[in-house]
Every structure is written in C-alpha cells, then in structure tokens.
Amino acid sequence: MNAPLRAAAPFDPEAPARLHPSVALRDESFGALAYHFGNRRLVFLKSRALVELVVDLEHHECARAAVSAHVEDDEVDAYVAALGRLYDSGVIDGR
C-alpha cells in the first residue's frame, strides 16, 4: 500500500504559491481535472471558483491574498484549507 503523498513542509497560506509547473488542468463542467506529470496523480477541482483561484495564485503576494481576492470573507477558511490539500497532493507549490 502506498503512503499518501506529503509535501516536505506544511502549507503556509502566508507564503507565495503557484500551480505546480508539472501540473496540467483540463476544464470540466464541474471545475477541472489536475494531472501531475511527475507523480502521476489525478485530482478533481470541484468548482470553477477553485480553478480560477489556483490559476491566479502566482499573481498574488501570498496564497491567502489570492483567496481573499477571489471569494467572500466567510469562505476564506474553506478555500485556504482546499489549497492546503492541493499543496499536499502536489497540485500547487511555493514559488
């Protein structure tokens, strides 16, 4: 049984982030599929808002700033948590 993939350091929403360069996104009606060519993982991004956020991450000084620019205040914590899971799976990384 394979152990779950874990990033070397924990996700820091106050640090800069980006879509990992080895990840390709394919638009779908529910959001997008993210395929990592390095670890061969396929991840579902289950909303258009999350897809837009992930694509736009690199244009903000930190992940939390990107989240705040894309979602309402009451959704920030949920989206930061979602980015943490995407970081753990290798879809996003620091820059």
Q: Note the pLDDT tens digit of each residue in 45-73.
A: 999 999 999 999 999 999 999 999 999 99
Report whether 93 contacts 84 (CB < 8 A).
Answer: no
Q: What are phi and psi of 82, to 5 degrees?
A: -65, -40
- Cβ-based burial of 38 (10 A; exposed 0-12, middle 13-18, buried ≥19): exposed
Q: pTM to 2 decimals?
A: 0.89
> What tens digit of pLDDT does each residue of 1-54 get?
444 555 568 999 999 999 999 999 999 999 999 999 999 999 999 999 999 999
Q: Are strands 23-28 and 31-36 parallel, antiparallel or unpaired?
A: antiparallel
